[in-house]
Structure 1
Amino acid sequence: MTTTEWNLARNQWLGVSEESVQADSRIYEAMRNFWHPVMFADDLGSEPAQAMLCGEQLAIVRLDDEVRAYKDLCAHRGTALSLGSVVENNGCQELRCAYHGWQYDCEGRLTAIPQRPDLVGKIRARVQTYHAVERYGFIWVCMAEEPHFPMAEFPQFDNPEYHAMPMKTVDWRCTSPRRVENYLDLGHFAFVHDGYLGDIDHPEVPDHAVWREGHVLRIEQLEPNKEPVNTKFESDIDDSEIDYQEGSDEAYTMSDQEWWVTMPLTVLLHQTLPGDRHYYLFFHPTPISPDTIRNFTVHARNYGDPDKIDEEVLDFCRTVYAQDKPIVEAQRPDALHRDLSYELHLQDVDTVSMQYRLWLSELVEELVVDA
């Protein structure tokens, strides 16, 4: 069953059209052209590990201190290469299959057949390999012949003035673009995150600007961001940061806020707080299957005692994710609809979403050829 057929069967009871399912499949197919984190670098030891990306099982391994990604399928009997081991061959490290000992070099070429060494070089056998690199504490993979866009920039991760803190991954049953749109949606804070990122009594969306800059969608909030003080990181707040709603005793912390979206899926949030303090949240929802994503998240900040506020930051983010999860998983159709007339959009409220969808649609048209 093809991805399109599978999606159509899954959505049939919802009355989702075949056109919508086709859009779902094309967006999903386009994701192969970009970089995605597939695992934490610290989870990759001296032996191969298994990862998933775009419905394909991968074997991730370090050979001669370089990260390599293989299709997790030996050319002989289809055994998962991630069950194999790293061995030496003529001064270079190679990947050996656990079943019959076939070996592959860093380019996926077959280099050893223990049972018939005379056939090496005569059998046209190799394993598919993909681009792989270690960066920002993750192992990244791109499945295309060449990545369409460069990887997102996150210089704060390696900056000694910042404390970087990864967050445990969590899987959601949704598509990656749906999750990105949710992450950038300024209108849902008051209702989904009341008391955390917004206030249900003040649902107005702040003024913001949206524009393209190279391969990045930029969003800048044009007025200070307000978040209820009772849920912020109380160990790191002083009275000078607190503002009060006019005519009430409702307290808020204030910050400037902007986002960089390295198309199509990597989001970097930057908050500027009083006292030249900066907080960054680096986020990427990796598509591990047609209807499942894995949320990869790293926080970085130049303030605060890690022993005092690290767990507060993580708890806050975990709570926000848990609030969003059932909302996003319940959205239909599963994919963002590329036809903007399919849903209703509000001026000055859904601007970010509309600009993101338009660019995503352009990328799909550029990268995916209709069958």
Structure 2
Amino acid sequence: MRSYQEAFSPYWHPVAFSHELKERPLAARLLETELVVWRTGSGVAATQRYCAHRGADLCGGQLTEEGLRCGFHGWTYGRDGRCVRVPSQPGVPIPARAALTSFRAVERYGLVWVCLAPEPAAPLPEWPELEDGSVATVPLPRLDWNTSAGRMIEIVLDVAHLSWVHEGTFGNPQQQEVPPYEVERSAAGVRAQISYPALSPAIGGMPPKVDRTTLSYEVFFPFAARLSFKPTIFYAHTVYAIASPWSEEKMQCFYFASYHPRLRNHFPDMFVKSELAILEQDRLIAEAQRPRAHPLDFSSEVHVRADRLPLEYRRGLIAIRTGHPVDAPTPD
């Protein structure tokens, strides 16, 4: 069994929203690794957070044309982590060890992504609708939860909890049975689709309405999920949850949604308020689960067919942890 960090370091994980990264370097954390990320003339850069000279926090440094300059002694580092300037000894060759560990970093979908391994094990999720202008997008405040990234994604995929946990938001308490559904498995992730009679909350004294909604789930391993809602009496919209592991028991989630551009003037505020209420219901459940770390087997919990989608997802993560191909076999 590979360690958590070893297993998931070769994947891309978001560490910041693009709008957070401005004219100053930004602190980030990924898989118990402390990072500093900053903008360069050719993109974004990510390195170890502390200066190779005397361990100063580079998040307090400044960006220059040469690179990231430490605020303690002015040592300056390029995007590749190599020191390019030592002001106290301008005429002396810079020591070869004067370098920071650097990591791959890219910017896409309004997020800064980092891969801690030399070569990524998989590409970024393919979400073309977020780049072709066909939809509008709104980010939610970043979610910091005391649970594992895997646990967080499992609750997003959990079909059976909708009527119980989300009462008062969109859950329908009268719909307790989960009809059989199919799960499509691949090396990249899992997919499924269900029909759910969502219940809108009562507004202005009007009784809640049942809106039969098609829910389409798609996961890109290890921790990125897209959930599309297609109601019958309202516009379709899609939510995106990318859980970024700080450690095996804590994660931050970058969560946002796309929606029809016609709703641009009204939908963002309404959506954020509604979705934060739904996510708070999920957080209370997820943070109370034990263990917080994502289980490495199925023996400690009892499962039924209604759990098929999160089970297929878990099988994929177990395969990654054990170093086996992600073939996602059908559960027993």
Matched, 1:34 2:11: yes
Counterpart for residue 324 of structure 1: 282
CA distance in 2, matches of 1:114, 1:264: 43
Matched, 1:260 2:256: no
CA-to-aligned-CA distance 1:17-76 (integer Å, 9 cap, x gap): xxxxxx7x8335422221111111111112211111112221111111410001101110
From the CA coordinates, give the structure whose radius of gyration is larger: 1
| Partner SS state of residue 163, structure 2 | helix
Cα shift at 1:195: 3.2
TM-score by length of 1: 0.81
Matched, 1:269 2:246: no
Counterpart for residue 43 of structure 1: 20
Superposition CA RMSD, Å: 2.3
CA-to-aligned-CA distance 1:205-263 (integer Å, 9 cap, x gap): 13321122341211222xx32110336xx79xxxxxxxxxxxxx973112222111000
Matches within 5 A, 1:280-359: 280-302=238-260, 304-347=262-305, 349-359=306-316
How many residue pairs were aligned?
Answer: 323
Q: Which runs of 4+ in 1 moved over 6 A?
A: none
Change (3 A) 1:122 1:336: closer
CA distance in 2, matches of 1:276, 1:74: 53
CA distance in 2, matches of 1:161, 1:45: 27
Alpha-carbon contact 2:229-2:236 (below 8 Å) kept: yes
Matches within 5 A, 1:196-235: 196-221=169-194, 224-230=195-201
Change (3 A) 1:279 1:285: same
CA distance in 1, matches of 2:106, 2:310: 30
Alignment-mate amino acid for residue 124 of structure 2: M
Change (3 A) 1:250 1:58: closer
| Partner SS state of residue 353, structure 1 | helix
Alignment-mate amino acid for residue 350 of structure 1: D
285-294 vs 71-80, greater mean Cα deviation: 285-294
Change (3 A) 1:250 1:204: farther
Name structure 2 gaps, 5 residues minimum: 325-332
Counterpart for residue 328 of structure 2: none
Change (3 A) 1:201 1:275: closer
Alpha-carbon contact 1:277-1:303 (below 8 Å) kept: no
Change (3 A) 1:57 1:227: same
Change (3 A) 1:45 1:174: same
Cα shift at 1:297: 0.7
307-316 vs 73-82, greater mean Cα deviation: 307-316
CA distance in 2, matches of 1:179, 1:28: 18
CA distance in 2, matches of 1:106, 1:303: 37
Partner residue of 1:77 out of 51, 54, 58? 54
Partner residue of 1:126 out of 79, 85, 99? 99
72-81 vs 273-282, greater mean Cα deviation: 273-282
Matched, 1:158 2:131: yes
CA distance in 2, matches of 1:181, 1:39: 22
CA-to-aligned-CA distance 1:245-290 (integer Å, 9 cap, x gap): xxxx973112222111000100011123348943111111111234
Alpha-carbon contact 1:154-1:282 (below 8 Å) kept: no
* Percentage identity across paired residues of the two chains: 29
Structure number with the higher helix fraction is 1
Alpha-carbon contact 2:77-2:84 (below 8 Å) kept: yes
Alignment-mate amino acid for residue 144 of structure 2: D
Alpha-carbon contact 1:113-1:120 (below 8 Å) kept: no
Partner residue of 2:118 out of 118, 142, 145? 145
CA distance in 2, matches of 1:305, 1:334: 38
Counterpart for residue 52 of structure 1: 29
Name structure 1 gaps, 5 residues minimum: 1-22, 236-248
Partner residue of 1:190 out of 163, 170, 180? 163
Cα shift at 1:122: 4.0
TM-score by length of 2: 0.90
CA distance in 1, matches of 2:93, 2:271: 54
Change (3 A) 1:206 1:198: farther
Counterpart for residue 323 of structure 2: 366
CA distance in 2, matches of 1:45, 1:170: 21
Matches within 5 A, 1:92-103: 93-103=66-76
Change (3 A) 1:304 1:229: farther
Alpha-carbon contact 1:111-1:120 (below 8 Å) kept: no
